[in-house]
């Protein structure tokens, strides 16, 4: 096991790349960014936009999948205001949507966009969330299937040739060993770590038929045969970062968490991540049990790379907040899939990764933390 020598990201993240010098893929990308000819990239992006305007068979030039968060606002305004594209936004509503999430989607609409909102059958979703919890210990996996797929489905049905996605995690998280790689091609979204197990496995779930899963997968082959394009926007934009997008979007009406939020209730100190659904907090806690890190680790690593945190301060923050999640969210989740908290913790324990070792007094020690 190792942690990156520049940031403090561990190699327990599935699909993570490390080079021979012990540097993670995300830090390599941060360094690569300094040498990219960004003017050239912007010209490439312009060219793709012009192609979309010429070849569309629809009223729209591009489709953008939006959750209503900082990246969605950045994507939509860049596409419309900088690239001059006619955008159709697609929002797939997550289970357990928050007040702040709903208000941010409303804000995006008010900025002047046509928006299609989709809500996959909640009864079906509930069965799938429950199944993912017990099989993968990941309660938001199915939400990601619909979030990504709905954009491609709408492009397909409306005859819109360009799909604009936010960031390629192969670049920003360093997970380039997954199928998404490090290029601009977002047609490969079905090879993202979370989606790569395939939607077909849900056919095994009792009570679920193929027709129930329409919004959870897209026909990549068909889109490719029509020469449609899907791109990761961060491949083309120098100023793209979580922090910059959050500030930009706040200036355009995005609401962050309130100033007095409790970092230990959500497991991080940053107020602008994962605002739309409460189950994502539970998922981060479960990620911590599986892999030894949660969202605070992700966030300090962004801040180290972009010069806002020292390694020392980052370690302090991780030890304070990582893996924390308020009982309120856990209870809400247990009520949703109708299990007891006892069953929740027993199941979570089954997935505890070998990043944890038992100490003499019967507690768990995080081996990543021991390496700091
Ligand atoms: Zn790193």
pLDDT in tens, 358-370: 999 999 999 999 9
C-alpha R_g of the chain: 20
Nearest of 355, 287, 350 to residue 322 by alpha carbon: 287
Ligand 1 centroid–CA 174 distance in Å is 8
Per residue in 190-215, pLDDT tens? 999 989 999 999 999 999 999 999 99
Residue 278: which pLDDT band, with cuts at 50, 70 and 90? confident
Ligand 1 centroid–CA 305 distance in Å is 8
Near ion ligand 1, which residues have CB within 5 Å?
4, 6-7, 9, 24, 27
Task: For residue 88, give the H/E element and its range.
Answer: strand 87-92
Q: How far apart are CA 274 and CA 296, in angstroms?
A: 12
Ligand 1 centroid–CA 308 distance in Å is 14
Do 33 and 234 contact (CB within 8 A), yes or no? Answer: no
Q: What pLDDT does 76 receive?
A: 98
Ligand 1 centroid–CA 173 distance in Å is 9
Q: What pLDDT does 68 receive?
A: 84
Which residues, 6+ apart, have CB-to-CB distance to 344 below 8 Å? 330, 333, 334
Q: What pLDDT does 276 receive?
A: 87
Q: What pLDDT does 95 receive?
A: 78
Q: How far apart are CA 35 and CA 46, in angstroms?
A: 20
- Domains observed in the chain: 38-235 (3.40.50.620)
Q: What pLDDT does 93 receive?
A: 86
Q: Considering the entire predicted model, what is its pTM?
A: 0.95
Say which residue the tokens 């360093």 belong to: 174
Say which residue the tokens 């899939």 belong to: 337
Whether the per-residue pLDDT at 277 is higher than 90: the answer is no
What is the mean predicted confidence (pLDDT) over 58-87?
96
Ligand 1 centroid–CA 106 distance in Å is 36
Q: What pLDDT does 97 receive?
A: 85
Ligand 1 centroid–CA 63 distance in Å is 32
């Amino acid at each position: 096991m190792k942690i990156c020598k520049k940031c403090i990201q561990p190699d327990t993240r599935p699909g993570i790349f490390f080079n021979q010098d012990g540097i993670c893929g995300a830090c390599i990308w941060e360094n690569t960014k300094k040498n990219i000819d960004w003017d050239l990239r912007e010209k490439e992006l312009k060219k793709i936009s012009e192609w979309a305007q010429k070849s569309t068979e629809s009223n729209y030039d591009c489709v953008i999948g939006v959750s209503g968060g900082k990246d969605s606002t950045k994507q939509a305004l860049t596409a419309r205001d900088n690239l001059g594209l006619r955008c159709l936004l697609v929002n797939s509503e997550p289970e357990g949507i928050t007040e702040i999430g709903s208000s941010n989607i409303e804000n995006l609409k008010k900025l002047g966009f046509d928006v299609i909102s989709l809500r996959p059958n909640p009864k079906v979703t509930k069965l799938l969330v429950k199944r993912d919890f017990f099989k993968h210990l990941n309660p938001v996996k199915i939400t990601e299937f619909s979030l990504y797929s709905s954009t491609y489905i709408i492009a397909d049905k409306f005859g819109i040739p360009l799909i604009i996605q936010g960031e390629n995690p192969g670049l920003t998280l360093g997970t380039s060993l997954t199928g998404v790689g490090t290029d601009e091609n977002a047609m490969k979204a079905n090879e993202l770590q979370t989606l790569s197990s395939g939607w077909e496995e849900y056919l095994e779930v009792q009570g679920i038929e193929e027709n129930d899963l329409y919004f959870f997968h897209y026909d990549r082959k068909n889109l490719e045969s029509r020469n449609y394009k899907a791109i990761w926007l961060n491949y083309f934009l120098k100023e793209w970062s979580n922090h910059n997008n959050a500030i930009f979007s706040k200036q355009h009406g995005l609401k962050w968490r309130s100033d007095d939020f409790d970092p230990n209730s959500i497991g991080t100190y940053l107020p602008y991540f994962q605002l739309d659904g409460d189950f994502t907090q539970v998922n981060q806690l479960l990620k911590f049990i599986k892999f030894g890190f949660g969202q605070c680790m992700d966030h300090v690593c962004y801040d180290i790379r972009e010069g806002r945190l020292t390694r020392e301060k980052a370690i302090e923050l991780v030890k304070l907040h990582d893996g924390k999640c308020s009982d309120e969210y856990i209870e809400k989740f247990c009520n949703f899939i109708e299990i007891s908290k006892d069953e929740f913790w027993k199941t979570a324990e089954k997935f505890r990764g070998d990043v944890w070792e038992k100490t003499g007094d019967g507690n768990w020690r995080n081996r990543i933390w021991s390496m700091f």
